[in-house]
């Protein structure tokens, strides 16, 4: 056995051992329960970042843990290989996205392997290969047949200089990222997937996902945004046959409506603008603005009267119609009834434009203080509302809906916030949409036997439009129906399509003739899915939808794709920067900054190593290129080894929380592994047997810690599992030089506890110390309850809830006896000090609280 811990050597040996034994190949077998553990596959951006290391270490810990627990485990890996960054890199380096992507995959695969993950590499695939994306195309065609895919106009960001569609990310402060030209909105035809057809099921089924974090389920539920309300028609004042439809969840406030507001894109706005130049200009201005909701919702409220009026459906009052930039065309009817007294946005708008405010709802058993300083938005009691006065929220909604129904001017209905999924992208590096445009036959689906529509891999985008649209060899084709010359669709699919079902394909990646086969039934659902919290809504919702579509097409027998979900937190690092006189900010990598401390360990200053001058700290932020605060995992692995990297990311914080990078924390992890190795060496050379007292205390300590670790492991709280391992080593360290059954048992527990986190060192010590050939299939250690038995337990003594001392009592002591002992205890008597005792609270096994 090596005297010193040499991670590079140990890790090389362990990894070649696993490779030689094909240790991680997953085969369908029925004598064990299966466990499919999946981490979100990476985008091949170039090299691994710390988020990957964290994500895949969590997955690997669970995979190895479940294997020890007797499960038949599968942990696959692949590449989310289509996407925008490949096109950007292609432009920058004048190299096709395909080459860039494949090179990145090769490099990142090596990195993943050097981290020692227990991955079944036989199942690896990349989504940019026709073998995979042909099934995107195939399923799209099935959805088209079912009416689940359809074409309609959609709005995109248009760069008028580059003549190209921009992603939201490429729009910076309303301008194109390359040209700086103000971005315009443009309507173009696009394909949509009808996710709204599944809105109710996607919402209802959240209740059947006990293994999902509550916060993710809440976010999805809010995103789907089911609301029950009333659709109300306001007849036009100049034409009673026509009406303006609005949707509201607050029909109880209808009698307080003082105007209506429509979105800039609403037909009524367009109509009024025809002979109103000022209004037309205003509408143009609104339309030019942001596409992104975050921007729309935070912009200053603006509006303009249309000059049109509608009739209040119950009171018959004439109400003005305004165009307002806070009304979204994409939700409900694109029009709202405005009740300034009881809606904050309406209140602000009405105040700004001096529109009337009419109060109709007051708190229960109180009156409403007027004039209002803000909207009263609570559910209350109606007043000044004619026949509806005195009703509560539900009564008022019901009565008003009934009254509207009678006049045929309204009805109750359900509204969702969720919109259909637009999948068309005017970009090259994605799955071609399998449609052919024929001048005679219209849009014709590509016949199944002509799939896949293969994406050429040799194009280089230049930033002006989609290269596919400039490549006749791609788009020239014949119409499958009439055989005349036709043009292939050049839009590609959103990359979320690729990631919506890859977890199914891992079960059968080599299946050439079908999207899925019978192996899918064995492996799916995914038992544990792990990925960043940033995917809580879109990716996870699309995947759930896609699974349900596949189910309804008879392809899989799954209602939901992921049984358990773990959403890992982001990886942060400190941000250092300098601001120059003209306000320009330069960021410096933390690795290039030297921190000075005073003798209390508090920071005194931070200086750049290069010039010794101070830099400012911007606090902690997510690791990003733009802020230059990333840490390269490669350098870390080379300096300390994979086990140290893995231990650090597991130990630094619980998996769901953000993780703050710390160089000294990494050194701490490395130090622990050195100590472990040194202990292994000393144990091997040990000769003596510990005394009975020490043996008993050590076993008690180790088994208590193990019990806690089992609990933490079940909770996926790996940071405390790592500290359990440290506690066990501390306990073993107290009997250094000892080689007896207790030390032997303790070390075997320690190695197995640590193995999922730091597999290489555990593997090596397990073999070197003669525990067995391979720790891979060793059983997870079991707690010996007998080691935990104690004759006496310690109770805490409190007086009025304040800690005043403690006492030891026999394990089986009766409540009365404990009370008596507590009351006569000197530290209790001192504080009771003769005062009358009101009550004594005894919490068995924990404490006694005397209340005076």
Partner RNA sequence: GCCGGGAUGGCGGAAUCGGUAGACGCACGGGACUCAAAAUCCCGCGGCCGCAAGGUCAUGCGAGUUCGACUCUCGCUCCCGGCACCA
Number of C-alpha atoms within 13 angstroms, CB side, residue 469? 15
Tokens of 546: 């896609």
Stretch that binds RNA, among 140-148, 277-285, 402-410, 795-803 (CB under 7 A): 795-803
**Least distance from C-beta 669 to RNA, angstroms?**
7
How many CB atoms lie under 10 A from the CB of residue 704? 17
> Taking CB under 7 A as the criterion, which residues in 805-844 touch RNA?
806, 839, 841, 843
Contact between 622 and RNA (CB under 7 A)?
yes
**Least distance from C-beta 558 to RNA, angstroms?**
23
C-beta separation of 409 from 243 below 8 A: yes
> Taking CB under 7 A as the criterion, which residues in 26-65 touch RNA?
43
- Cβ burial of 472 (10 Å; 0-12, 13-18, 19+) is exposed
**Least distance from C-beta 275 to RNA, angstroms?**
33
Contact between 796 and RNA (CB under 7 A)?
yes
Of the pair 439, 597, the CB lying nearest RNA is at: 597
**Least distance from C-beta 819 to RNA, angstroms?**
13
| Cα→Cα distances 93→86, 99, 166, 264, Å | 10, 11, 20, 42
Contact between 108 and RNA (CB under 7 A)?
no
C-beta separation of 775 from 755 below 8 A: yes
> Taking CB under 7 A as the criterion, which residues in 723-752 touch RNA?
723, 726-727, 730, 733
Contact between 533 and RNA (CB under 7 A)?
yes
How many CB atoms lie under 10 A from the CB of residue 184? 14
Stretch that binds RNA, among 17-25, 356-364, 705-713, 781-789 (CB under 7 A): 705-713
Contact between 660 and RNA (CB under 7 A)?
yes
Of the pair 67, 752, the CB lying nearest RNA is at: 752
Of the pair 637, 850, the CB lying nearest RNA is at: 850
416-419 long-range contacts (CB < 8 A, ≥24 apart) are 416/196, 416/199, 416/224, 416/225, 416/226, 416/227, 417/222, 417/223, 417/224, 417/225, 417/226, 417/227, 417/331, 418/195, 418/196, 418/199, 418/202, 418/223, 418/224, 418/225, 419/196, 419/330
Radius of gyration (C-alpha) of the chain in whole angstroms = 33
Considering only CA atoms, which of 528, 527, 531 is closest in space to residue 539?
Answer: 531
- In the β-sheet with 442-445, what is the strand arrangement from edge to edge? 442-445, 435-438, 485-488, 476-478
- Return all residues near 611 (Cβ < 8 A) that are at least 6 apart: none
d(CA 366, CA 830): 53
Contact between 468 and RNA (CB under 7 A)?
no
Query: In DSSP terms, which residues pair with 381 in a beta bridge?
Result: 362
> Taking CB under 7 A as the criterion, which residues in 191-210 touch RNA?
none
> Taking CB under 7 A as the criterion, which residues in 557-596 touch RNA?
570
Give the one residue of 653, 748, 762, 764 binding RNA; rule: CB under 7 A.
Answer: 653
d(CA 262, CA 234): 12
Contact between 600 and RNA (CB under 7 A)?
yes
**Least distance from C-beta 403 to RNA, angstroms?**
30
**Least distance from C-beta 262 to RNA, angstroms?**
19
- Cβ burial of 750 (10 Å; 0-12, 13-18, 19+) is buried
Query: In DSSP terms, which residues pair with 659 in a beta bridge?
Result: 571
Tokens of 152: 């309609």
Give the one residue of 181, 441, 537, 591 binding RNA; rule: CB under 7 A.
Answer: 537
d(CA 244, CA 236): 7
**Least distance from C-beta 787 to RNA, angstroms?**
16
Give the one residue of 30, 275, 277, 298 binding RNA; rule: CB under 7 A.
Answer: 298
Contact between 285 and RNA (CB under 7 A)?
no
Total interface residues for RNA by CB under 7 A: 105
**Least distance from C-beta 276 to RNA, angstroms?**
29
Stretch that binds RNA, among 64-72, 397-405, 423-431, 513-521 (CB under 7 A): 423-431
C-beta separation of 397 from 251 below 8 A: yes
Contact between 190 and RNA (CB under 7 A)?
yes
Stretch that binds RNA, among 251-259, 633-641, 649-657, 682-690 (CB under 7 A): 649-657
> Taking CB under 7 A as the criterion, which residues in 59-98 touch RNA?
80, 82-85
DSSP three-state, residue 369? coil
Give the one residue of 56, 651, 683, 780 binding RNA; rule: CB under 7 A.
Answer: 651
Stretch that binds RNA, among 59-67, 255-263, 510-518, 651-659 (CB under 7 A): 651-659
Give the one residue of 603, 609, 625, 808 binding RNA; rule: CB under 7 A.
Answer: 603
Contact between 599 and RNA (CB under 7 A)?
yes
Considering only CA atoms, which of 73, 79, 82, 83 is closest in space to residue 41?
Answer: 79
Give the one residue of 94, 483, 602, 824 binding RNA; rule: CB under 7 A.
Answer: 602
Contact between 130 and RNA (CB under 7 A)?
no
Contact between 425 and RNA (CB under 7 A)?
yes
C-beta separation of 52 from 633 below 8 A: yes
Tokens of 708: 């806690």
> Taking CB under 7 A as the criterion, which residues in 344-363 touch RNA?
none
Stretch that binds RNA, among 166-174, 266-274, 361-369, 807-815 (CB under 7 A): 166-174
Give the one residue of 108, 128, 659, 754 binding RNA; rule: CB under 7 A.
Answer: 659
**Least distance from C-beta 621 to RNA, angstroms?**
6
DSSP three-state, residue 525? coil
Of the pair 241, 294, the CB lying nearest RNA is at: 294
Give the one residue of 200, 293, 592, 792 binding RNA; rule: CB under 7 A.
Answer: 293
């Amino acid at each position: 056995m090596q005297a010193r811990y040499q991670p590079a050597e140990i890790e090389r040996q362990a990894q070649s051992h696993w490779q030689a034994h094909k240790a991680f190949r997953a085969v369908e077998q029925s004598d064990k329960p299966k466990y499919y553990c999946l981490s979100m596959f990476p985008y091949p951006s170039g090299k691994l970042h710390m988020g990957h290391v964290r994500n895949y270490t969590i997955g690997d810990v669970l995979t190895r843990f479940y294997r020890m627990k007797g499960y038949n485990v599968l942990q696959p890996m692949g590449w989310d290989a289509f996407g925008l960054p490949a096109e950007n890199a292609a432009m920058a380096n004048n190299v096709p996205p395909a080459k860039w992507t494949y090179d990145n995959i090769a490099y990142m695969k090596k990195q993943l392997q050097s981290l020692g993950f227990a991955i079944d590499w036989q199942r690896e695939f990349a989504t940019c290969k026709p073998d995979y994306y042909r099934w995107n195309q195939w399923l799209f065609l099935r959805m088209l047949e079912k009416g689940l895919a359809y074409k309609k106009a959609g709005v995109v960001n248009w760069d008028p200089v580059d003549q190209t569609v921009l992603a939201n990310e490429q729009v910076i402060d309303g301008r194109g990222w390359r040209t700086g030209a103000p971005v315009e909105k443009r309507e173009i035809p696009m394909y949509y997937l009808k996710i709204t057809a599944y809105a109710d099921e996607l919402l209802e089924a959240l209740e059947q996902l006990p293994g999902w974090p509550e916060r993710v389920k809440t976010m999805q539920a809010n995103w789907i945004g089911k609301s029950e309300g009333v659709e109300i028609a306001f007849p036009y004042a100049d034409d009673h046959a026509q009406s303006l439809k609005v949707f509201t969840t607050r029909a109880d406030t209808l009698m307080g409506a003082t105007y209506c507001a429509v979105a800039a894109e609403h037909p009524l706005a367009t109509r009024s603008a025809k002979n109103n130049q000022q209004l037309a200009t205003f509408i143009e201005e609104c339309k030019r603005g942001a596409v992104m909701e975050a921007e729309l919702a935070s912009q200053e409220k603006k509006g303009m009267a249309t000059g049109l009026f509608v009739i209040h459906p119950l009171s018959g009052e004439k109400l003005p119609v305004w165009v307002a930039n806070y009304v979204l065309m994409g939700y409900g009817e694109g029009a709202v009834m405005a009740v300034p007294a009881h809606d904050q946005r309406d209140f602000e708008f009405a105040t700004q434009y001096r529109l009337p405010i009419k109060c109709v709802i007051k708190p229960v058993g109180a009156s409403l203080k007027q004039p209002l300083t803000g909207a009263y938005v609570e559910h209350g009691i109606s007043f000044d509302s004619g026949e509806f006065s005195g009703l509560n929220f539900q009564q008022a909604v019901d009565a008003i809906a009934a009254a509207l129904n009678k006049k045929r001017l309204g009805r109750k209905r359900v509204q969702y916030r969720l919109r259909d999924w637009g999948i068309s992208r005017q970009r090259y590096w994605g799955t071609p949409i399998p449609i052919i445009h024929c001048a005679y036959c219209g849009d014709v689906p590509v016949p199944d036997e002509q799939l896949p529509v293969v994406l050429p891999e040799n194009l280089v985008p230049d930033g002006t439009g989609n290269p596919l649209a400039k490549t006749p060899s791609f788009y020239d084709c014949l119409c499958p129906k009439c055989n005349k010359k036709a043009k292939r669709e050049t839009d590609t699919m959103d990359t979320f399509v690729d990631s919506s079902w890859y977890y199914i394909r891992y079960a059968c990646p080599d299946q050439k003739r079908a999207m899925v086969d019978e192996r899918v039934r064995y492996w799916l659902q995914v038992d544990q899915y792990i990925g960043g919290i940033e995917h809580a809504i879109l990716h996870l919702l699309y995947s759930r939808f896609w699974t349900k579509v596949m189910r309804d097409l008879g392809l899989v027998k799954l209602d939901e794709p992921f049984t358990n979900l773990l959403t890992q937190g982001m990886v942060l690092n400190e941000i250092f920067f300098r601001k120059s006189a003209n306000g320009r900010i330069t960021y410096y990598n933390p690795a290039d900054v030297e921190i000075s401390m005073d003798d209390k360990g508090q920071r005194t200053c931070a200086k750049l190593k290069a010039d010794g001058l101070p830099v400012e700290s911007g606090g902690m932020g997510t690791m990003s290129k733009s802020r230059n605060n990333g840490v390269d995992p490669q350098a870390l692995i080379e300096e300390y080894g994979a086990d140290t990297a893995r231990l650090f990311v597991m130990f630094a914080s619980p998996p769901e929380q953000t993780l703050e990078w710390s160089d000294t924390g990494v050194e701490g992890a490395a130090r622990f592994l050195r100590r472990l190795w040194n202990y292994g060496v000393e144990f091997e050379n040990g000769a003596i047997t510990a005394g009975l007292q020490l043996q008993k205390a050590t076993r008690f300590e180790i088994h208590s810690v193990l019990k806690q670790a089992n609990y933490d492991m079940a909770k996926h709280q790996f940071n405390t599992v790592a500290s359990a391992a440290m506690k066990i080593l501390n306990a073993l360290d107290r009997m250094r030089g000892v080689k007896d059954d207790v030390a032997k048992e303790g070390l075997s527990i320690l190695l197995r506890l640590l193995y999922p986190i730091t597999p290489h060192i555990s593997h090596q010590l397990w073999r070197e110390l003669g525990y067995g050939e391979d720790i891979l299939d060793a059983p997870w250690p079991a707690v010996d309850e007998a080691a935990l038995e104690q004759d006496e337990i310690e109770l805490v003594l409190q007086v009025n809830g304040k800690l005043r001392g403690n006492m030891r009592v026999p394990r089986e002591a009766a409540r009365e006896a404990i009370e008596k002992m507590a009351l006569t205890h000197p530290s209790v008597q001192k504080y009771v000090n003769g005062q009358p005792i009101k009550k004594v609270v005894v919490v068995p096994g924990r404490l006694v609280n005397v209340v005076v």
